């Protein structure tokens, strides 16, 4: 068997032939339109083949005896995909881009064919996996495949756990190797503001004590988007408003607080959300979003809209409508977390579903709370938990609001796709107990790789035509460095990538066996991972 993830839709194995892996390899673009794709594929292959990858000037010519060849070719005629692709194209196309491909392994090399450069690149990602996860030889075979969901995303959170531009490039490479095509950057939150904006230089200016801030310059951001585009990954920035705004308030003091519900003051601490009914605040936010939209090459800008604690329902609805309008006025398409549905939903709106009260898995009694050491360690009392449930109660109806309003749902349920969930102690190997105990958002119940892999998009009863796509998220509260990030991502991100591509959860026994052979790929790329005891590692 091959160990490709996501598992291809169809596989036909030829009789008797094998392709040796160990010798030298060259990359050949059979069509001049694929020259740039060939260069990107070469860059992705280098950590694995190293000096066995021949230099570009050896790529020309037809395949013959000697080096094996990875050939990239465009089909002349469109080919029907083997799955029906649904959802929103992250590149803004009216219809999903054709990413279907055909990959052929012969005794002389691997050929990647598709109608579009995107499809050729997805085939090349499959070829890289075959070369990395196979032993000495690959059986001659033909694979044909296409995605189910057009939007297949990963969100990371540099606002809380800063990642350098170089580290984000490594995340993009990892995403591309598993056919994810969106990198959602949570750029702002209470803990930090990470994007330099000409209209608001104070957001990234040194702090009052002279301490520098960590952020992406406008040139960093442009270069990162170009790097992602070469790998057919779209960058979606998130400016989280009107709540989660402590970093903005620190840099721009004096903005008035949004009107709060009666009886809330003094009960629980919260950062006052922004009041978008205030003309001065609206002007500040308008300048910020205009800059973000101008700097963003892709068609989408995420406006946040989650957890606006300390804001009336009317004030929140007004804020969401203003934020959407400001993004649209700058020529970009807004999306927001599911709470935005409470401001109304239209067919052009996308809302990211992440939570309902049952999914939060919170206790109802003191006895149940006593059995949840992670909640006790976080200082949660039953009074606080009851208030939390009351605050999130409207979330139980957000999904229905989105669907009934004709909008699209981006599926990111906290229960399975939040990859900041701690790993369960019982699946953590002895040599990673410290990391397992430290990493993850500590108020979540812990889980394993199988827990993530068992998620089924159909469980939410959202019609396929109303689903924008699938996106895993990893918030950065516990991320202290790049190794922490990848340990939380791997292996679980790979399981989400399988589900996002195929439209259904993988069959566990086969999936875990294939996962085991991907450790070599991660190690060759210098990526830390959790060696879960659920997986039969070599």
**What is the average pLDDT across 184-201?**
97
Is 166 inside any structural domain? yes
Same domain, 56 and 74: yes
Q: What pLDDT band is residue 56 in, cutting at 50, 70 and 90?
A: confident
In this predicted structure, what is the pLDDT of residue 12?
Answer: 82
Tell me: the pLDDT tens digits for 367-412? 999 999 989 988 999 998 998 899 999 999 999 999 999 999 999 9
Higher pLDDT, 59 or 373: 373
Is 204 inside any structural domain? no
Is 537 inside any structural domain? no
Which residues touch 211 (CB under 8 Å, ≥6 apart)?
none
In this predicted structure, what is the pLDDT of residue 61?
Answer: 47
> What's the token pair of residue 511?
């999936």
Same domain, 227 and 83: no
Task: Taking each helix axis as running N to C, give the angle between helix 279-295 and helix 313-329, from 0 to 180 degrees, rounded to the nearest 10.
Answer: 40
Q: What pLDDT band is residue 78 in, cutting at 50, 70 and 90?
A: low
Q: What pLDDT band is residue 94 in, cutting at 50, 70 and 90?
A: confident
> Distance of CA 436 to CAs 54, 118, 448, 531, Å?
41, 37, 11, 10
pTM of the model: 0.96
CA-CA distance, 425 to 433, in Å (whole number)?
7
The position carrying tokens 């009317």 is 314
**What is the average pLDDT across 118-142?**
96
Whether the per-residue pLDDT at 324 is higher than 50: the answer is: yes
> What's the token pair of residue 419?
């990859």
Q: Using DSSP bridges, classify how beta strands 101-106 and 333-337 pair: parallel, antiparallel or unpaired.
A: unpaired
In this predicted structure, what is the pLDDT of residue 350?
Answer: 98
Asked whether the beta carbons of 292 and 195 are under 8 A apart, the reply is yes
CA-CA distance, 72 to 267, in Å (whole number)?
62
Maximal C-alpha separation, the chain? 80
Element (H, E) at 387: helix 382-392
Which of 370, 481, 498, 478 lies closest to 422, judged by CA?
478
Query: Helix, strand or coil for residue 354?
Result: coil
Same domain, 80 and 175: no
Domain of 341, in residue numbers: 151-195+212-283+300-524
Same domain, 478 and 452: yes
Residues annotated as catalytic (active site), given as ranges: 307
Is 48 inside any structural domain? yes
In this predicted structure, what is the pLDDT of residue 530?
Answer: 98
**What is the average pLDDT across 486-514?**
98
Is 364 inside any structural domain? yes
Same domain, 158 and 92: no
Q: What are phi and psi of 293, to 5 degrees?
A: -65, -40
Is 533 inside any structural domain? no
**What is the average pLDDT across 264-268?**
66
First to last CA, the chain: 15
In this predicted structure, what is the pLDDT of residue 268?
Answer: 66
Residue 434, classified by CB atoms within 10 Å of its CB into exposed (0-12), middle (13-18) or buried (19+), is exposed
CATH code: domain of residue 449: 3.20.20.80
Q: How many residues are present in the chain? A: 538
CATH code: domain of residue 73: 3.30.379.10
Tell me: the pLDDT tens digits for 148-171? 999 999 999 999 999 999 999 999
Chain centre distance of CA 423: 19
Same domain, 111 and 173: no
Query: Helix, strand or coil for residue 423?
Result: strand
Same domain, 252 and 399: yes
In this predicted structure, what is the pLDDT of residue 66?
Answer: 83
**What is the average pLDDT across 464-489?**
97
Same domain, 164 and 274: yes
Bridge partners (DSSP) listed for residue 152? 470
Lowest-pLDDT range, 116-130, 322-336, 363-377, 414-428? 363-377
The count of structural domains within the chain is: 2
Tell me: the pLDDT tens digits for 404-425? 999 999 999 999 999 999 999 9
Is 266 inside any structural domain? yes
**What is the average pLDDT across 297-318?**
96
Is 351 inside any structural domain? yes
Same domain, 366 and 460: yes
Query: Helix, strand or coil for residue 1?
Result: coil
Same domain, 386 and 515: yes
Whether the per-residue pLDDT at 534 is higher than 90: the answer is: yes
What are the strands, taking DSSP E only, across 188-244? 188-189, 192-193, 234-241
């Amino acid at each position: 068997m091959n160990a490709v993830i996501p598992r291809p839709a169809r596989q036909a194995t030829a009789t008797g032939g094998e392709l040796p892996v160990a010798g030298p390899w060259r990359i050949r673009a059979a069509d001049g339109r694929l020259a740039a794709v060939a260069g990107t594929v070469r860059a992705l292959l280098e950590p694995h083949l190293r000096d066995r990858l021949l230099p570009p000037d050896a790529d020309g010519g037809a395949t013959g005896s000697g080096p094996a060849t990875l050939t990239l070719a465009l089909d002349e005629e469109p080919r029907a995909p083997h799955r029906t692709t649904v959802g929103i194209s992250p590149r803004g196309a009216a219809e999903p881009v054709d990413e279907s491909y055909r990959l052929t392994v012969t005794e002389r090399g691997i050929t990647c064919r598709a109608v579009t450069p995107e499809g050729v690149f997805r085939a090349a990602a499959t070829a890289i996996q075959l070369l990395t996860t196979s032993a000495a030889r690959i059986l001659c075979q033909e694979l044909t495949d296409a995605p189910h969901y057009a939007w297949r995303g990963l969100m990371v959170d540099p606002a809380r756990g800063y990642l350098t531009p170089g580290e984000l490039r490594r995340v993009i490479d990892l995403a591309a190797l598993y056919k994810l095509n969106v990198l959602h950057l949570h750029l702002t939150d209470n803990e930090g503001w990470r994007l330099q904006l000409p209209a608001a230089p104070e957001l990234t200016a040194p702090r009052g004590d002279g301490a520098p801030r960590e952020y992406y310059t406008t040139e960093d951001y442009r270069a990162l988007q170009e790097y992602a585009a070469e790998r057919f990954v779209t960058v979606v920035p998130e400016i989280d408003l009107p709540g989660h705004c402590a970093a903005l308030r620190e840099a721009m003091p004096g903005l008035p607080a949004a009107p709060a519900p009666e009886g809330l003051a003094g009960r629980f601490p919260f950062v006052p959300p922004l009041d978008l009914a205030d003309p001065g605040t609206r002007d500040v936010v308008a300048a910020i979003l205009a800059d973000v939209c101008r700097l963003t090459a892709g068609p989408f800008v995420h406006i946040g809209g989650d957890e606006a604690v300390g804001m009336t329902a009317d004030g929140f609805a007004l804020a969401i409508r203003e934020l959407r309008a400001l993004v649209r006025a700058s020529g970009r398409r807004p999306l927001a977390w599911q709470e935005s549905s409470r401001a109304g939903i239209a067919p052009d709106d996308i809302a990211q579903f992440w939570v309902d009260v049952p999914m939060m898995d919170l206790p109802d009694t003191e006895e149940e709370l006593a059995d949840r050491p992670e909640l006790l360690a976080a200082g949660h009392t039953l009074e606080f938990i009851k208030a939390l449930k009351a605050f999130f109660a409207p979330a139980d109806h957000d999904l229905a609001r989105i669907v009934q309003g004709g909008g699209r749902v981006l599926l990111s349920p906290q229960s399975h796709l939040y990859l900041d969930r701690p790993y369960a102690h019982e699946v953590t190997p002895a040599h990673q107990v410290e990391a397992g105990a430290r990493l993850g958002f500590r108020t979540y119940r812990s889980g394993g790789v199988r827990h993530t892999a068992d998620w089924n998009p159909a469980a939410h009863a959202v019609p396929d035509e109303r689903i924008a796509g699938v996106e895993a998220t990893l918030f950065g509260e516990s991320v202290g460095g790049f190794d922490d990030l990848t340990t939380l991502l791997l292996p679980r991100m790979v399981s989400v990538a399988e589900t996002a591509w195929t439209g259904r959860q993988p069959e566990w026994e086969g999936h875990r066996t294939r996962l085991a052979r991907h450790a070599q790929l991660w190690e060759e790329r210098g990526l830390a991972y959790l060696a879960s005891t659920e997986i039969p590692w070599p």
